[in-house]
Amino acid sequence: MRPFRGIIDARDTTPHFAPGDPPGHPGHRARRRRRQWPAWAAADQALGTVTVQAARQSEAQKASSQLAEIPGGTSVVDSEEVAKGRTATLQDTLGYQPGVFVQSTGSNEAAKISIRGSGANTSPGYFREGVAFLFDGLPITGPGGTPYEFLNASGVNYTEILRGANAFQYGALTLGGAINFVNHSGYTAPGLRLRAEAGSYGYQKQSLSVGGVEGDLDYYVNLDNYRNQGYRDYSLSRSQGVVANLGYAFSPKLETRLLLRYRDEFHDDPIATTLDQIKHHPRRASATAESSGAGSRRPGSLWLGSKTTYTFDDDARLTFGVAYHDYAHNNSPDSPSNPSYWDWHDLNLRLAYDRIDQWFGHESAAPRIGLRYEFTPQLQAFANVSRSIDPPVSWQYSGSGPTLPYVRPLVEQKANTVEIGIKGAQGIFDGSLSLYRSWVRDELFNVQLIAATASSAAVTGAFNASPTIHQGVEAGLNTRLWENDQGDQVRWRQVYTYNDFHYRDDERFGDNALPGLPKHVYQSEMQYQHHSGWYAGVNVQSAARTAVDYANTFYAPSYTVWGANLGFEAPKGDWKVSLDVKNLANTAYVTAVTPQYDAKGADTTSLWPGDGIGAYVGVELRY
């Protein structure tokens, strides 16, 4: 914001009021007092020119304010906050977000991610489904789902999370909603930035970015290099990437932007293992991993986007976007008997017209039905009713395995959802609380039916389920526990997610819980921030046990993992340093599971161990 410059008159210390103010109102007294002062007093009492500078909002804060107007569950992750610790994986980016379950499962960028139970039944190594992913509002998700090599938040300014139908503004109709990565531009990341991270298990990451503005043109380029030996044996991962965008403003009403992402990746895959191995030998790869050549080679994934926006006189906007995605996958390239090669090409077009209209004297949201009630400008209650549709992804038609009663033909998954909640700020608190219930029909399941062996690949199958229920609670609360006049403070943030996903009178499984996600997940961090730039904190994540199979005969145990961080950010923002310690107690735990059809109570090779204790250092310089 530009500073306000003006003359402050010492005579007029009480606000002015309209002529209709009642007699005796302070405004009348102020005006009478002003009229009674002699003319010579005006010259003596006038002060010099002063500058009043309002606090500048970041782009992430602006986005958070805009999303607050949506009558449903939304949140924003500021990449500056993420950069206070390790920035290796999607788990680092999306931690502490209500309703979002994301767990990394190795040294590569694969992760188990689910919102409101979407895609919970898939393996961490599969393409993401049930959540739409976007860059600057342009789709990365295609007919095959979402490959994970771009889901590392490189070059991202902030990330929008819109749960369920609250993602409709981006055309997302999925049960889980959407995650929109908003890239840096020459305006948000000017100058040169250098960042390096290193840590346990051979972790290394370096990035260099440069951005700027030249007249009506702005530019941004980010280069990064990643290598990680990994916590487990046979889990080497390495990749390099480029993020770039170029924007041009033809006029205050018309602007366009070109975006590019490129990534080259290779990783070994230690694959899932048993609970017994995780308890006693968590760093060992599965017995069949190396002999089967498990792993993947992405020889060069390319994503190109173009977005042009015209703003009308009434602030309505017309946006036209194009996104092209080219990604070849060489799966198990070192396999002696079962290598596979996929070559994907996706083209997405987006045409959107956005405007705010009045409906019965209130701002409308269409076509979903949503209502907001503001107790104060900072505190609101909301409710919405919506319908979601998830089509099968293309690779689900190529699944192998025995014929089941549910298997073919595959149809789209449909759900009706009701959501109510409250969000906002009051005193030392700010946060949100959402309760939702989804009635799902033909839910799409992809499940490993038979585990891999030394001589054969895993047997998988996709099928539509009988009716299911997804319901839960998404709660987040930030509290300023203490602060002083100098700006020192202690903050406590907490996130709780309740996942209740189950069958509805299935012929075989009754009302069994759906496998893949824990019913209760709690995250918490308490951090001390000193006004000079130092900060230190402790954090914890706790999860309940997780059903592994649809028959509910085998469970991954509950766990609690502690961490800590320490860092310094220079007051001018030109450099920062951080130390991030994960899993302080070196707990052996199951971070994610690959669901089974019926484990019959046996300990199966479908569990993924979390990393052991690790320390990670980051240094960033800006010029």
CA dihedral 334, 336, 337, 343 (to 10 degrees): 20
> pLDDT higher for 57 or 97?
97
Q: How many CB atoms sit inside 10 A of residue 189's CB?
A: 21
Question: Contact 447/595 with Cβ under 8 angstroms?
Answer: yes
Highest mean pLDDT among 167-171, 290-294, 505-509: 505-509
Q: What is the predicted pLDDT for the residue at 364? A: 61
Question: Contact 539/563 with Cβ under 8 angstroms?
Answer: yes
Q: What is the DSSP string of 427-493?
A: TTEEEEEEEEEEEEES-EEEEEEE---SSSPPEEEEEEPSPEEEEEEEEEEEEEEEE-TTS-EEEEE
Q: What is the predicted pLDDT for the residue at 89? A: 87
Distance CA 401, CA 460 (A): 6
Above 80 in pLDDT, residue 123? no
Question: Contact 200/616 with Cβ under 8 angstroms?
Answer: yes
Above 70 in pLDDT, residue 247? yes
CA distances from 211 to 183, 188, 257 (A): 12, 8, 14
Above 80 in pLDDT, residue 609? yes
CA distances from 314 to 351, 357, 592 (A): 19, 10, 49
One-letter amino acid at 188 equals: T
Give buried/exposed letters for 444-474 (b at 16+ CB in 10 A, else e): bbbbbbbbbeeeebbbbbbbbbbebbbbbbb
Distance CA 307, CA 276 (A): 51
354 Cβ contact partners less than 8 Å away, ≥ 6 residues apart: 169, 316, 317, 319
pLDDT digits (tens, 9 = 90+) for 534-578: 999 999 999 999 999 999 999 999 999 999 999 999 999 899 999
Q: What is the predicted pLDDT for the residue at 52? A: 54
Residue 4, Cβ density class (10 Å: 0-12 exposed, 13-18 middle, ≥19 buried): exposed
Distance CA 196, CA 206 (A): 4
On the CB side of 332, CA atoms within 13 Å amount to: 18
Q: What is the predicted pLDDT for the residue at 289? A: 84
Please state which of the ranges 43-47, 126-130, 299-303, 338-342 shows the lowest mean pLDDT.
43-47
484 Cβ contact partners less than 8 Å away, ≥ 6 residues apart: none
Above 60 in pLDDT, residue 598? yes
Q: Where are the alpha helices (DSSP H) in 37-142?
A: 39-45, 59-67, 79-82, 90-94
Above 60 in pLDDT, residue 130? yes
- Structural domains in the chain plus CATH codes: 1-35 (no CATH), 59-622 (2.40.170.20)
Q: What is the predicted pLDDT for the residue at 3? A: 38
Q: What is the predicted pLDDT for the residue at 457? A: 61
What is the average pLDDT score of the chain?
86
Q: What is the predicted pLDDT for the residue at 402? A: 47
Above 50 in pLDDT, residue 397? yes
Distance CA 452, CA 265 (A): 24
Please state which of the ranges 223-237, 405-419, 486-500, 542-556 shows the lowest mean pLDDT.
405-419
Q: What is the predicted pLDDT for the residue at 400? A: 46
Band of residue 406 on the pLDDT scale cut at 50, 70, 90: very low
> pLDDT higher for 406 or 290?
290
Q: What is the predicted pLDDT for the residue at 26? A: 37
Above 70 in pLDDT, residue 51? no
Band of residue 54 on the pLDDT scale cut at 50, 70, 90: low
**Radius of gyration of the chain from Cα atoms?**
27
Above 60 in pLDDT, residue 38? no
Above 90 in pLDDT, residue 20? no
Q: What is the DSSP string of 19-35?
A: TTPPTT-HHHHHHHHHH
Please state which of the ranges 358-372, 433-447, 454-468 shows the lowest mean pLDDT.
358-372
Above 60 in pLDDT, residue 30? no
**Mean pLDDT, residues 139-156:** 87
Q: What is the predicted pLDDT for the residue at 41? A: 44
Band of residue 325 on the pLDDT scale cut at 50, 70, 90: very high
Distance CA 248, CA 337 (A): 51
Please state which of the ranges 46-50, 66-70, 211-215, 415-419 shows the lowest mean pLDDT.
46-50
Band of residue 280 on the pLDDT scale cut at 50, 70, 90: very high
**Mean pLDDT, residues 38-48:** 48
Mapped onto helix, strand or coil, the DSSP state of residue 394 is helix
Above 50 in pLDDT, residue 482? yes
Of 545, 552, 557, 461, nearest in space to 503 by CA: 552
pLDDT digits (tens, 9 = 90+) for 167-207: 988 888 889 999 999 999 999 999 999 999 999 999 999 99
Per cent of the chain over pLDDT 90 is 63
